[in-house]
Amino acid sequence: MRNIKLNFLLLLLTVLTLSCSKEDNNDVCLETNVSMVINGELQTFQTTGRGIDLNQDGGYTLRIWLSRGSSNPSLEQSILIVLPYQKRGDNVLDNFMYNQYSIGTTFNGDFSNGTIESKVITNSNTCFYATFSGTFNDGNQEFVITDGKLSYQYETPF
Q: Tell me: the pLDDT tens digits for 11-25?
A: 445 544 444 433 444
pLDDT digits (tens, 9 = 90+) for 124-144: 999 999 999 998 877 778 889
Enter the pTM of the model.
Answer: 0.78
Say if strands 89-90 and 115-123 run parallel, antiparallel, or are unpaired: antiparallel
**Structural domain boundaries of the chain?**
30-153
Torsion angle in degrees (nearest 10) through CA of 14, 19, 21, 27: 180
Percent of the chain with pLDDT over 70: 78
